């Protein structure tokens, strides 16, 4: 009987355990069902968010990527905005006499007892550090019914012509406006209105230098303009522009008596790019007007032409060449800047120039590149011109640059350059310029 009782007790215990196990399984199933319901609710929320992503800016203030590289869009705006620029520091040591300003100006290389009166400061050994090349700019792009509307606003701190605040006065270089324009790119062409590089320039054919001014035998001018450009595919791009005139007679500033601008400069340009590199040609027509406000007046047309290109001879090497000629183009050609137009009491006498620049550019690696370049400008100085200009004037200006640039890390590079120049007057006197320059460049 005792065995029977024991067996009954065991069976009862097993039954209770079975009931407990069934209860635990039911509770587990309930928990799984509850978790599944939570997951289904989360999935529904995710689908709702995905479906309404496009409406997020209407609810949240988000900044999104712009239509062009390096730009962003502000909330509620279709305009893409980009900021750019760099911090640039130059250091140089002159081994010969310096030029008229801190950057290279071939027309003012010092000559001892300079009979032209431009620069007789032949002291040697000048050292200088400067950050005035530093630059800041903003650009925008907005889609319109006609096409993309782009703007650009850019400053540097070159402070040309104003030397009031310099090192020694806890520094300050006044901002200088470089570019300020709007550009509409439509099916019928590209219309630009504002200030930027002159259409008479060929930047692709101008060798790279560490010196800010660079080659005096290549055109260099920024000014307000209205320009229309059209790309004809295989035939290249043609541009026609009316640009601001700047009459400078007898060395006087534009708009000062007796200078009087009566019409804009007219410039036509053509450019073609391809696997070979690029080639371009430009033509300029301008007019000088003399009016001393006392009854003496004169006017004379002036012109300039230019052709040049950059040609890829290997994947790493390019050859550059540029030729420019004309009369009355002194303000476009740095090496002719100091042979300004003159009035001899009867007629305006124009300075005539012929300039050539050649160069070789090589990219040794993705981070290291070098440039070798040479340029010369010849200025025609006849007796009638000298009668009004003075006893002597610049006749031949020659210069050369050799440099290397090393991008040692992202957005930063070092530069090293040797520059040489020679200025010769029509009377035979010469001056020589020699400089070693370094640069540190941080871009953003």
Strand 127-130 to 72-73 pairing:
unpaired
| pLDDT tens digit sequence for 307-321 | 999 999 999 999 999
Gap between the Cα atoms of 99 and 111, Å rounded: 10
Kindly indicate the confidence band of residue 177, based on its pLDDT and cuts at 50, 70 and 90: very high
Find the helix or strand (DSSP H, E) in which 32 lies. helix 2-51
> What's the CA dihedral at 202, 371, 123, 166 to 10 degrees?
60
Q: Which residue has the higher pLDDT, 194 or 25?
A: 194
Statement: residue 54 has pLDDT above 70: no
List, in sequence order, every residue forming a beta bridge with 443; answer none if it has no partner.
Answer: 86
| pLDDT tens digit sequence for 338-388 | 998 999 989 999 989 999 999 999 999 999 999 999 999 999 988 889 988
Count the alpha carbons within 13 Å of 47 in the hemisphere toward its beta carbon: 6
pLDDT of residue 358: 98
pLDDT of residue 349: 94
pLDDT of residue 26: 76
Structure tokens at 254: 């534009």
The values of phi and psi at residue 251, to 5°, are 80, 0
Residues 6 or more apart in contact with residue 248 via CB below 8 angstroms: 254, 259, 330, 331, 340, 341
Mean pLDDT, residues 7-14 taken together: 49
| pLDDT tens digit sequence for 232-279 | 999 999 999 999 999 889 888 787 889 989 999 999 999 999 999 999
Gap between the Cα atoms of 416 and 409, Å rounded: 16
Q: How far apart are the first and last CA of the chain?
A: 98
pLDDT of residue 383: 87
This prediction has a pTM of 0.83
Mean pLDDT of the chain: 89
- Please give the distance of CA 242 from its chain centroid, rounded to a whole number: 21
Could you say which DSSP state residue 267 is in?
E
Contact in structure between 415 and 439 (CB atoms under 8 Å): yes
Gap between the Cα atoms of 354 and 352, Å rounded: 7
Statement: residue 51 has pLDDT above 70: no
pLDDT of residue 252: 81
- Over its C-alpha atoms, the chain yields an Rg (Å, rounded) of 35
Q: Which residue has the higher pLDDT, 297 or 46?
A: 297
pLDDT of residue 328: 94
Percent of the chain clearing pLDDT 90 (strictly above): 68
Statement: residue 291 has pLDDT above 80: yes
pLDDT of residue 40: 79
The values of phi and psi at residue 30, to 5°, are -65, -40
How far, CA to CA in Å, does 33 sit from each of 26, 28, 50, 280? 11, 9, 26, 76
pLDDT of residue 250: 87
Collapsing DSSP to helix, strand or coil, 152 comes out as strand
Kindly indicate the confidence band of residue 69, based on its pLDDT and cuts at 50, 70 and 90: confident
Collapsing DSSP to helix, strand or coil, 387 comes out as helix
Q: Which residue has the higher pLDDT, 330 or 162?
A: 330
Gap between the Cα atoms of 326 and 4, Å rounded: 130
């Amino acid at each position: 009987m005792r065995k029977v009782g024991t067996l009954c007790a065991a069976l009862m215990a097993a039954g209770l355990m079975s009931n407990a196990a069934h209860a635990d399984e039911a509770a587990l199933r309930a928990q799984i069902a509850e978790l599944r319901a939570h997951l289904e609710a989360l999935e529904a929320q995710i689908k709702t968010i995905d479906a309404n992503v496009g409406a997020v800016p209407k609810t949240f203030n988000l900044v999104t990527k712009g239509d062009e590289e390096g730009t962003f869009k502000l909330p509620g705006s279709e305009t893409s905005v980009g900021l750019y620029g760099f911090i640039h520091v130059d250091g140089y040591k002159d081994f010969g006499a310096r030029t008229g300003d801190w950057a290279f100006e071939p027309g003012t290389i010092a000559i001892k007892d300079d009979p032209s009166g431009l620069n007789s400061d032949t002291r040697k050994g000048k050292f200088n550090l400067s950050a005035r090349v530093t630059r800041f700019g903003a650009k925008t792009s907005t889609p319109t019914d006609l096409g993309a509307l782009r703007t650009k606003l850019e400053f540097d701190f070159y402070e040309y012509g104003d030397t009031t605040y310099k090192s020694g006065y806890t520094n300050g270089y006044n901002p200088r406006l470089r570019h300020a324009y709007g550009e509409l790119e439509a099916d019928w062409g590209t219309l630009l209105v504002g200030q930027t590089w002159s259409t008479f320039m060929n930047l692709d054919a101008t060798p790279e230098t560490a010196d800010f001014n660079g080659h005096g035998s290549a055109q260099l001018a920024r000014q307000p303009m209205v320009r229309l450009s059209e790309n004809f595919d295989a035939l290249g791009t043609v541009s026609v522009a009316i640009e601001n005139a700047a009459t400078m007679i007898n060395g006087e500033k534009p708009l000062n008596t007796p200078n009087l601008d009566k019409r804009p400069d007219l410039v036509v340009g053509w450019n073609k790019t391809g696997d070979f590199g690029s080639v371009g040609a430009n033509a300029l027509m301008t007019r000088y007007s003399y009016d001393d406000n006392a009854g003496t007046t004169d006017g004379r047309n002036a012109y300039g032409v230019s052709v040049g290109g950059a040609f890829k001879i290997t994947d790493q090497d390019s050859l550059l060449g540029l030729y420019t000629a004309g009369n009355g183009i002194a303000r476009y050609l740095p090496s002719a800047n100091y042979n300004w137009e003159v009035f001899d009491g009867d007629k305006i006498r124009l300075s005539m120039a012929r300039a050539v620049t050649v160069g070789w550019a090589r990219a040794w690696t993705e981070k290291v590149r070098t440039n070798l370049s040479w340029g010369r400008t010849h200025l025609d100085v006849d007796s009638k011109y000298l009668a009004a200009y003075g006893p002597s004037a610049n006749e031949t200006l020659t210069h050369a640059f050799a440099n290397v640039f090393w991008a040692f890390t992202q957005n930063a590079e070092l530069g090293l350059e040797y520059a040489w120049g020679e200025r010769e007057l029509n009377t035979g006197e010469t001056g020589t310029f020699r400089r070693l320059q370094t640069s540190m460049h941080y871009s953003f």
